[in-house]
Amino acid sequence: MNGNFKDHAMLPGNPKYESAIVRYGKLSEKPDDIRTPFERDYTRILHSRAYSRLKHKTQVFFATRNDHICTRIEHVNYVSSISVAICKHLGLNEELALAISTGHDLGHAPFGHSGERYINQIISKHIDRTFGHEKNSLRFVDQYETLQNSKGYEQNLNLTYAVRDGIICHCGEVEDAYLMPRDEIVSLETIEHPNEFSPYTWEGCVVKIADNIAYVGRDIEDALRLNILDSVHEHILEELLKDYANIDISKTNNTSLIYHLVADLCAQSTPEKGMHYSTDHLKFLRAIKDFNYEYIYNNERLLVFHDYARLILESIFNMLLSFYHGEETIQHINDHYINTYPELCFTFINKLEKFSDLGGHDNRNPKYKNKVIYKLGNRDDYIIAIIDYLASMTDHFAIKIFDELTAF
């Protein structure tokens, strides 16, 4: 451990600390609570339903029957492991990095990045909004996910600024420049694009880098398991990586790639120059990514999956949009569709009853203490409700609903 960043860790005494622990909303005070603010955020994320759903969401390869193919929850755990290891070595706050990394993909769509792309196309077509998983992860932790308090009431997560900031700022490529945190407080809800802002904390920078490190080797391993890559591709990659004489890779597996990238990042990074790789390791990482895009992500075997994901998401969206009946939408669904599409109607109505104004009727279940985020009389709000419902789905649940729509 070199501890080079210990004076910059997000801990009491850091000039940014009081701003970093400001919460989105209030939490009940627990005088005997032994947790720090960031540790409390971590446990709130860990116990959320959105975190549980990640185990059935695609990372790269969809709904596979192979138990050893990476899912979204495994990816999150890899990012957490890498982030904590880097923070421990550099002297940064491991609890903050763990909270950010565990929550960074909570708003990811089903069917991986293809699902994200199609949901963005749907919402952009109907209203003046865009969809990205980093923005939606912030939306989910701020407004959509809830936990029961000690009295059984559902409340929003109400996370700290530093954790929320790390979530919205985690996305984007980071290899082309030295990464350093910004100094200013910004309104996180206004961030529209990856790399629009650097994270507010060094720990957020670590998670942003770890997110890139976590997947490159694992995607190669999974592609080999599924015969998308074969020994010929392995030879191509090994020949490609021989150009980097100072990097001893005898086998291109996930652990060896992670080790070399993390070790180099920790050796090269300083508070004065920022977080970065050596020139050799930067080229090394780019070469692996280029290989993955050419032979894995753009592989024609994934095209059928992409078409299937689009069909499922568009079909569910169009059906729910056809249900809209202004402020009387819930009653209209119950009167006309509940018997035909019981699973779809029941689960969607449940979301409307939890998050909407119920069409102006003041009879929301008193257990819901979370924010109201939809007005049923507003069609755009209803469209956003459908998008939230789609984005919250696991792959398996989306397929189940699609099967209900196509069954007679």
Q: Are strands 146-148 and 154-156 parallel, antiparallel or unpaired?
A: antiparallel
Stretch 294-323: mean pLDDT = 95
The pLDDT tens digits of the residues spanning 251-298 come to 667 888 899 899 999 999 999 999 999 988 888 899 899 999 999 999
Phi, psi (5° rounding) for residue 2?
-95, -20
pLDDT at residue 64, rounded to an integer: 72
Phi, psi (5° rounding) for residue 236?
-60, -45
The pLDDT tens digits of the residues spanning 358-405 come to 987 768 899 999 999 999 999 999 999 999 999 999 999 999 999 999
Cα–Cα dist 319/299, whole Å: 31
pLDDT at residue 381, rounded to an integer: 98
Residue 29's Cβ-side half-sphere holds a number of Cα atoms within 13 Å equal to 1
Cα–Cα dist 270/253, whole Å: 28
Full set of structural domains in the chain with CATH: 6-106+145-298 (1.10.3210.10), 301-406 (no CATH)
pTM assigned to the model: 0.95
Residue 94's Cβ-side half-sphere holds a number of Cα atoms within 13 Å equal to 11
Question: What amino acid is encoded at 7 in this protein?
Answer: D
The pLDDT tens digits of the residues spanning 60-86 come to 988 677 889 999 999 999 999 999 999
**b/e code 73-96 from CB counts within 10 Å (16+ = b):** bbbbbbbbbbbbbbbebbbbbbbb
- pLDDT level of residue 29 (50, 70, 90 thresholds): confident
The pLDDT tens digits of the residues spanning 135-182 come to 999 999 999 999 998 888 999 999 999 999 999 999 877 766 789 999
Contacts of 205 (CB under 8 A, 6+ apart): 179, 180, 181, 198, 199, 274, 275
